[in-house]
A = this chain, B = another copy of it.
Amino acid sequence: MSVEQPVTVEVGLGERAYDILIGSGLLSRVGAEISSRLPGTRAAVITDTNVAAAHLDALKAGLEKGGIQPAILTLPAGEKTKSFAHLEEVVDGILAARLERGDVVIAFGGGVIGDLTGFAAGIVRRGMNFVQVPTSLLAQVDSSVGGKTGINSPRGKNLVGVFLQPKLVLADTGVLDTLPIREFRAGYAELAKYGLIDRPDFFAWLEKNWAKVFAGGPERAQAIAEACRAKADVVARDEFETGDRALLNLGHTFGHALEAATQYDGARLVHGEGVAIGMALAHRFSSRLNLASPDDAARVETHLRAVGLPWRMSDIPGDLPDAEALLGFITQDKKVSRGALTFILTRGIGQAFIAKDVPASEVLAFLRENHPASSKAG
> Is B126 a contact partner of A150 (Cβ separation < 8 A)?
yes
> Is A123 a contact partner of B155 (Cβ separation < 8 A)?
no
* Interface-facing stretch out of A57-65, A158-166, A188-196: A158-166
Mark interface residues in A77-110 (1 if CB within 8 Å of B CB, else 0): 0000000100010011001100010000000000
Q: Is A335 part of the binding interface, using a Cβ–Cβ cutoff of 8 Å?
A: yes
Within the complex, the shortest CB–CB distance from A64 to chain B, in Å, comes to 24
Q: A88 vs B88: C-alpha distance in the bound complex, in angstroms?
A: 10
A126 touching B100 in the complex, CB below 8 Å, given contacts A92-B153, A159-B95: no
The interface residues of chain B lying within 8 Å CB-to-CB of A303 are none
> Is A95 a contact partner of B155 (Cβ separation < 8 A)?
yes
Q: Is A122 part of the binding interface, using a Cβ–Cβ cutoff of 8 Å?
A: yes
Identify 23 residue pairs between A and B in the complex whose beta-carbon atoms are under 8 Å apart, listed by A's number. A84-B84, A84-B88, A84-B91, A91-B153, A92-B153, A92-B154, A95-B153, A95-B156, A96-B155, A100-B335, A119-B123, A122-B162, A123-B123, A123-B161, A123-B162, A124-B160, A125-B159, A125-B160, A126-B148, A126-B150, A126-B162, A126-B163, A127-B163
Q: A126 vs B151: C-alpha distance in the bound complex, in angstroms?
A: 10
> Is A162 a contact partner of B92 (Cβ separation < 8 A)?
no
Could you say how many copies of this chain the assembly holds?
2
Within the complex, the shortest CB–CB distance from A266 to chain B, in Å, comes to 24
Q: A240 vs B101: C-alpha distance in the bound complex, in angstroms?
A: 12
The interface residues of chain B lying within 8 Å CB-to-CB of A162 are 122-123, 126-127, 162
Within the complex, the shortest CB–CB distance from A6 to chain B, in Å, comes to 30
Q: A162 vs B122: C-alpha distance in the bound complex, in angstroms?
A: 7
The interface residues of chain B lying within 8 Å CB-to-CB of A91 are 84, 153, 160
Q: A166 vs B133: C-alpha distance in the bound complex, in angstroms?
A: 34
Within the complex, the shortest CB–CB distance from A358 to chain B, in Å, comes to 20
Q: Which residue of chain B is the closest to A153 with respect to CB atoms? A: B95
Counting chain B CB atoms within 10 Å of each CB, the highest count among A88, A127, A154, A163 belongs to A88
The interface residues of chain B lying within 8 Å CB-to-CB of A153 are 91-92, 95
Q: A91 vs B154: C-alpha distance in the bound complex, in angstroms?
A: 11
Within the complex, the shortest CB–CB distance from A146 to chain B, in Å, comes to 11
List CB contacts (< 8 Å) of A105-132 with chain B: 119, 122-127
Q: A141 vs B204: C-alpha distance in the bound complex, in angstroms?
A: 61
Within the complex, the shortest CB–CB distance from A90 to chain B, in Å, comes to 11
Within the complex, the shortest CB–CB distance from A129 to chain B, in Å, comes to 13
Q: A160 vs B84: C-alpha distance in the bound complex, in angstroms?
A: 13
Within the complex, the shortest CB–CB distance from A126 to chain B, in Å, comes to 5
List CB contacts (< 8 Å) of A327-356 with chain B: 335
Within the complex, the shortest CB–CB distance from A23 to chain B, in Å, comes to 31
List CB contacts (< 8 Å) of A149-192 with chain B: 150, 153-156, 159-163
The interface residues of chain B lying within 8 Å CB-to-CB of A154 are 92
Within the complex, the shortest CB–CB distance from A178 to chain B, in Å, comes to 32
A122-B162, A124-B160, A127-B240 known; 14 new pairs, CB 8 Å cut-off, are A91-B160, A92-B153, A95-B156, A96-B155, A119-B123, A123-B123, A123-B161, A123-B162, A124-B159, A126-B148, A126-B162, A126-B163, A127-B162, A127-B163
